[in-house]
Amino acid sequence: MDYDFDKESKKPLIMRIFIKTLIWVAEIAAVIFLAYFIVYYALERTNMVGISMETTLTDGDQIIINKFSYRFTDPKRFDVIVFKQSGEEHSYYDIKRIVALPGEKLQIKDGVIYINGVAIEEIVNVELMANYGLATEEITLEENEYFVLGDNRNNSEDSRFASVGMIRREEIIGKAFIRTSPFNFVNKLNLIKETEAEEKAE
């Protein structure tokens, strides 16, 4: 009986092709999984709609949302958040700044925001508020509620008004992370300290 040496010599080649194909399939699966993870769990892109966050963010600014951080930590005061309220018909996300946290008491008097009876200092450049809306009287937030304001205080529909009201934790999509053009981290924009430093340098 003759031994088929050609058949035997082809085995390593077939094995190498099989392994390479397996690796190729695994790499494609990994890329698809990573893309899915980034889109649904980590990052998402959206646009700023309207002028309610000027001069921090302007209409049309492209924003990268960090959806991952709030899976491990709760939103903090002065975070700029992206949210979509339940039952709202519009398709775009809202972007506002948190000023009061769950369980806190909030009131606005003489243009000053009071949390639990103590005035807080603004960290960004904003105009003095002319309309306090619901916050004219003291408001007590529920355990899953956040009070948000637009940085353009006199041209913003936010938690001062019944049409928006308090933002529930489950309505928050994520943190406004990066403005893509011109590039900057959102939490670095329009800061009072930065403005003061620039004025001193001049």
CATH number at residue 186: 2.10.109.10
Q: Which residues are catalytic?
A: 52, 96
Successive 10-residue mean pLDDT values, the chain, 202 residues: 52 80 86 71 89 97 93 95 81 92 97 97 95 97 98 97 95 96 95 66 55
Burial 17-46 (b: 16+ CB within 10 A, else e): eeeeeeeeeeeeeeeeeeeeeeeeebbbeb
Q: Are residues 16 and 52 in the same domain?
A: no
Pick from 128, 130, 169, 127: nearest CA to 148: 169
Which residues form the domain of 134? 48-201
Q: Are residues 122 and 175 in the same domain?
A: yes
Q: Are residues 26 and 118 in the same domain?
A: no
Q: Are residues 195 and 114 in the same domain?
A: yes
Q: Are residues 172 and 136 in the same domain?
A: yes
Q: Are residues 19 and 77 in the same domain?
A: no
DSSP reduced 3-state for 31: helix
Q: What is the pLDDT of residue 7?
A: 52
Q: What is the pLDDT of residue 8?
A: 52
**Total structural domains in the chain?**
2
Question: What does each C-alpha distance from 149 to 50, 79, 91, 96, 180 come to in angstroms?
Answer: 14, 11, 20, 6, 23
Q: Are residues 189 and 151 in the same domain?
A: yes
Q: Are residues 168 and 91 in the same domain?
A: yes
Q: Are residues 24 and 81 in the same domain?
A: no
Q: What is the pLDDT of residue 19?
A: 86
pTM of the predicted structure, to 2 decimals: 0.80
